[in-house]
Amino acid sequence: MIFDTQEQKIYHARHMSTRIVIDTRDFVNFTRSLHGKIKLNECIRLKDYLADSQGNLEYIINGILDRNDKPMLQVSIKGELNLNCQRCLGKLLHELNLKSTLFLVENEKELSYLDEDESVEGILATPDMDIIELIEDEIILNLPFSPRHKENDCSTKKLTDNYTAEKKRPFAALLELKKLH
């Protein structure tokens, strides 16, 4: 549903079964806002990073001008993801609470200039930006490089403890056999 009145400049998406596309320049110039929920199973590129596609993500995207009238998108994404632990390959719950500010630039030259400053993120202003792709990009860029459970929570810790116990008593199994005869 899109509201175009001056009093209510909000895009609201309840069911994300269809893609939402915005004109980034228009979105910022009219200081629009977009919020809603996305089902994780709709995030095609994100699936490769997840243990499963269960759950939803909540997002808010605001188009604003900074103090110097530079166009920006403020992106906020919250939710929970199940990642794969790199130690035990089991599910690892990852709390997501991202807040990004993305400067809109008109061409690749401006984008490469922004890339030199690591404290600033930029994206190309386009007339057809797909919101789900934007959200997926932000999540993928902010995922841990090698997600792992805390050492005591990981199932490999239990396997290591069992192996260590057996290693300390290598003939324990033989002792049990001897008791049977």
Backbone φ and ψ for 46, nearest 5 degrees, come out as -75, -25
Residue of 151 and 127 predicted with greater confidence? 127
Least confident residue range of 2-6, 21-25, 45-49, 58-62: 2-6
Tokens 């993120």 appear where? 121
**Burial (CB count <10 Å: 0-12, 13-18, 19+), residue 77:** buried
Q: Could you give the count of Cα atoms lying within 13 Å of 170 in the half-sphere of its Cβ?
A: 1
Confidence of residue 146 (pLDDT cuts 50, 70, 90): confident
**Alpha-carbon distance 177 to 164, whole Å?**
21
**Burial (CB count <10 Å: 0-12, 13-18, 19+), residue 178:** exposed
**Alpha-carbon distance 10 to 154, whole Å?**
44
Q: Give bridge partners of residue 64 from the DSSP assignment.
A: 72
Confidence of residue 22 (pLDDT cuts 50, 70, 90): very high
**Alpha-carbon distance 36 to 27, whole Å?**
16
Q: Is the pLDDT of residue 161 over 50?
A: no
**Residue-level pLDDT at 90:** 84
pTM of the model: 0.72
**Residue-level pLDDT at 29:** 93
- Give residue limits of the domains in the chain: 10-148, 150-181
Question: DSSP state, 46?
Answer: G
Q: Is the pLDDT of residue 86 over 70?
A: yes
**Residue-level pLDDT at 13:** 42
**Residue-level pLDDT at 6:** 41
Percentage with pLDDT > 90 across the chain:
44
Q: Could you give the count of Cα atoms lying within 13 Å of 37 in the half-sphere of its Cβ?
A: 8
Tokens 């166009």 appear where? 71
**Alpha-carbon distance 31 to 77, whole Å?**
19
Cα separation of the two ends of the chain:
79
